[in-house]
Amino acid sequence: MRVAVIGAGVIGLSTALCVHEQFHSLLPSLELEVYADHYTPHTTSDGAAGLWQQPPLCCFHHRLWNKETFDYLLGLLGSPAAKEMGLFLISGYNLFTQPVPDPSWKNIVLGFRNLTPKELELFPGYSYGWFNTALMLECRRYLPWLTNRLTQRGVKFFHKKVESFQEMFAQGVDVVINCTGVRAGELQPDPELQPGRGQVIKVLAPWVKHFIITHDIESGIYTSPYIIPGSEFTVLGGIYQHGNWNEANSAQDHKTIWESCCRLLPALQKAKIVDEWSGLRPARPRVRLERETIRHGQVQAQVIHNYGHGGFGITIHWGCAMAAARLFGSILQEKKLASSLQPRL
C-alpha cells in the first residue's frame, strides 16, 4: 500500500507521522512517501511565529481539533523532545478596544483571565483584554524534528513538484494525502482557497517575554499589530491581505508593522531588525479535511485533502492529522486491509 503525502509543511509532515504511527504495525505493506517542492526552512510554516492560538473572533468550527493539538503538545512539554521540537510555554496578552465575549478556547489554554485595569495601563488605547498561558511550537525546529522521526521510520522524501494527482496514481500510489496548503488549487481548483498574505519583521528583543496580540474588530483578523517572542528572535506582524499572491516584502507593510508595534511596545524602537518575510496563509472559510474518490483508469483512487488552515495551522495541526489518519483508516476498512483493524484514535 503506497501512500504519498504531498506537501512538507507542518500539515504534511505531521499527517505523515500520524498515519505512520497508527498504521505501520497494522499494515506491514505500508510504504509512505513525502513529495514537496519546498522543504524546511522554505515552507509557509517556517515563517510563522508558532504561537498556538485560534483567532478569537472568527467562527471557525474547529474547537475539537485545536484542543486535541493543545493537549497533545502540553503532554510533550515535560519530555526531553520538547526543546528539539521547539516547544515551550508562553504567556501573554490579547488586547481589544472594547469588551468582547470570551473565546471558545478559554478553557483549553492555561490560566485564562481578563486583564486588570493596572495591566491595561501598559497598553494605552486598549480598554479590554485577556491574559493566558499558551504554547509556542517553532516550525524551524518542529519540521526538522518531524523529518527526523519520519526518516527513522523509513519514510522516503522526494524533492519535486507534483503536477497532478494522476501523476501519483500512474506511479502506483494508492492513496494521496493532499497537504499542499495555499497552492492546493494547482492540483484541483478550489475557489474557496485564497492566499491571506502576511508580512513579518523579525527582531532581536530578548527582554520581551510575552506575546502581545491586538485585535481590531472592524478591520479583521491579523490586521492589527502583534508581537510574538520566540526562542531566538521576536516576530512583529499585523498584515492580512486577502487574495494577494505577492511574496515579496512591501515597504509600506514594513512601515505599518514597525510603527504600530513600536507604539504598542516603545522599547522595540531599540530592537535590532534581523529579517523580514512574507508568506501566504492558506485561507479558507473552513479547513478542507475530507476524502475524495478519483477515477484513475479502472481504479477508484483515494485522495485525503488536508489543507486550508489559514493562520492557525500550527494551532490545529495535530487534531487534523489525527482526523486525516481516521479517514485513512476508513479507506483501509473499505479495502478490507489489515486483519483486526482498530485505528487508534
Partner 1 sequence: MAAPKVAVVGAGVIGLSTALCIMETCPSCSVTILSEQFSPNTTSDVAAGMLIPHTYPGTPIHVQKQWFKETFTYLFAISNSAEASEAGIHLVSGWQVFKNTPKEELPFWSDVVLGFRPMSKAELQKFPQHQFGQAFATLKCDCPPYLLWLEKRLKATGVQMYTRKVADLWELHSEYDIVVNCTGIGAHQLVGDKKLFPIRGQVLKVHAPWVKNFIRDGDGLTYIYPGIHRITLGGTREKENWSLSPDPGTSKDIFDRCCSLEPSLGGAQDIQVKVGLRPSRQCVRLQREVLSQGGVKLPVVHNYGHGAGGFSVHRGTAKEAACLVGECIAALQDSSSRAKL
Longest CA span, the chain: 69
Q: Does 119 bind partner 1 (CB under 8 A)?
A: yes
Q: Does 311 bind partner 1 (CB under 8 A)?
A: no
Minimum CB separation of residue 272 from partner 1 in Å reads 10
DSSP 138-163: -HHHHHHHHHHHHHHTT-EEEE----
Q: Does 271 bind partner 1 (CB under 8 A)?
A: yes
Per-residue contact string for residues 199-238; x = within reach of partner 1 by CB under 8 A: ------xxxxxx------------------x-xx------
Give the residue among 316, 220, 205, 327 at the shortest CA–CA distance from 266.
Answer: 205
**CA–CA gap between residue 81 and residue 78 (Å, rounded):** 8
**Which amino acid is residue 85, in one-letter code?**
M
Instruction: Output 92 or 329, the one with its CB closest to partner 1.
Output: 92
Among 57, 64, 77, 345, the residue binding partner 1 under the rule CB under 8 A is 77
**Which amino acid is residue 42, in one-letter code?**
H
Q: Which three cell numbers stand for residue 43?
A: 515552507
**Which amino acid is residue 324, in one-letter code?**
A
Which residues within the stretch 144-163 sit at the binding site for partner 1 (CB under 8 A)? none
Q: Does 267 bind partner 1 (CB under 8 A)?
A: yes
**CA–CA gap between residue 237 and residue 240 (Å, rounded):** 9
Minimum CB separation of residue 36 from partner 1 in Å reads 27
Instruction: Output 89 or 274, the one with its CB closest to partner 1.
Output: 89
Instruction: Output 10 or 136, the one with its CB closest to partner 1.
Output: 136
**Which amino acid is residue 148, in one-letter code?**
N
Minimum CB separation of residue 73 from partner 1 in Å reads 13
Give the residue among 244, 199, 183, 247 at the shortest CA–CA distance from 37.
Answer: 183
Q: Does 274 bind partner 1 (CB under 8 A)?
A: no
Counting beta carbons within 10 angstroms of the beta carbon of residue 35, is it exposed (0 to 12), middle (13 to 18) or buried (19 or more)? buried
Q: Which letter, b or e, does each residue of 255-287 get, where b requires 16 or more Cβ atoms within 10 Å of its Cβ?
A: ebbbebbbebbeebeebeeeebbbbbbbbbeeb
Among 26, 58, 88, 144, the residue binding partner 1 under the rule CB under 8 A is 88
| Sequence ranges of the binding site for FAD | 44-45, 49-51, 162, 180, 310-315
| Sequence ranges of the binding site for D-dopa | 53, 215, 226, 281, 311
Binding site for partner 1 (CB under 8 A): 77-80, 82-84, 86, 88-91, 110-111, 113, 115-116, 118-119, 121-122, 131, 133, 136, 205-210, 229, 231-232, 266-267, 269-271
